[in-house]
Every structure is written in structure tokens, then in C-alpha cells.
Amino acid sequence: MAWYCSANSNEGLVNNLKTAKIFKSEGVEKAMKAVDRKNYVSQGPYNDTPQPLGFGATISAPHMHAYALQYLEPFLKPGMKVLDVGCGSGYLTACFSEMVGPEGKVIGIEHIKELVDMSRRNIQKDRPGYLESQRIILVHGDGRKGYPEESPYDCIHVGAAAEKEPHALIDQLKAPGRLFVPVGVKSQSIYQIDKDENGKVTRKELMGVMYVPLTDVDKQI
């Protein structure tokens, strides 16, 4: 059903995703309608398919972004802090910021400098005040290590597939907190990894996927 959500406008795309029951939250709907994908994707912004960004990177299909926002929604409340690993074009980073509001903070980390620059240009054009106010902070670095300088985080999203469970990211979650991450090499699945208020970690496999690998820059470009 998800792959049939393509449309001719951002509102149409989001409405189709809602009809397909990819998300249920009004907050997710509001954020996705506020952040127009055409400002972050140069070709086919409203097609429900992954799109190339260059440098061996892709932006995920809209239905995967909608799933991520829905599963992380309990940890995207106003004032919360988010880490977006592999922020790519900046689209989902901006959606996260819409959900956590002006009192929240989103750190987008990307290991390809040209993509960090792309994110910055896109967000500066679409949401200029978010960078100046540090509502969004973009970092050039190895997201596999997280970003301890701003930790802990209410939630962490990973936009590429880790070979194995990323313990460095789990360590940087608040208690409670949630991680949304694709894991695997030949066979991949999205995992929801929760840390409860006592620090106990539990894992739930959500769905099979196929993401680009979370890897070294020289192996990606």
C-alpha cells in the first residue's frame, strides 16, 4: 500500500500516506504538511520512492519517513531533543524540528560534508530561523558514534543500515528514550530500541527494509 502513495503535491502525498494508515498522529500530519519535500528533493519530490542525493546517498521514500515519525512520535513532544544520523538533504531533520517545536532541539549529523552543506542550504531557504536560533544544529561527523556533545537524546533516528546494533547510540539515549534504526547487511529490518526509565533496553523488529549501509565515507562515495 505504501508504494502507491505518490501524488502531485505535498498535501496530496501526506493525505495518501494517512489514508494508507502509515501514520495516525495529527502531529505527524501537521509536520509533514508544513515541510514541503520539494524544498529538499530536486526530482520527483512527491513520488513515494527513494531518490538519489548524490555522493552514494539517497533520501528515503516518504512512507519510510512517515513510519519513522509515527514510531518516534511519543519522543517528539515539544521541548524534546533529537539526533538524526545521516541527515542527508535535511528533510526529516526539519520534520523533527516541527514536532519538537521552538523549545526543542534537533541535531543532524552527516559524514559527507557536501550533504551537510546541502542540508544547510535547504533548511536555510525553507526554515531560516531554525539554524540561527540553533533549533536545528547540523554537524559534519561520523554518526555511528552519535554526538555525545549534545547527549542524551529523547530519540535517535538512523537513516542508513547499521551492520549490527549500534551500542554507542543506545548509550546516548535518555531513560526513557527510543532509537529507530535499520540493522543488517544482506537482510535488513527496522528495529525500535527502547530504553525505559530504569535504563532497561528492549528491542522490537518492525519491518523488513533495504537501506544504503551506514559506512565509511570512502566506501560510500
For the whole model, what pTM was predicted? Answer: 0.93
Cis peptide upstream of residue 176 (ω within 30 degrees of 0): yes
CB 16 within 8 A of CB 84: no
Asked if 60 is an active-site residue, the reply is: yes
pLDDT in tens, 40-78: 998 999 999 999 898 888 899 999 999 999 999 999 999
- pLDDT more than 90, % of the chain: 81
Q: Given a cut of 50, is residue 174 above it in pLDDT?
A: yes
Q: Which residue shows C-alpha cell 500530519?
A: 29
**Catalytic choice (6, 9, 25, 60):** 60
The CA-atom distances, in angstroms, between 48 and each of 60, 61, 156, 206 are 9, 5, 23, 20
Residue 186's pLDDT is what?
A: 82
pLDDT band at 220 (very low <50, low <70, confident <90, very high): very low
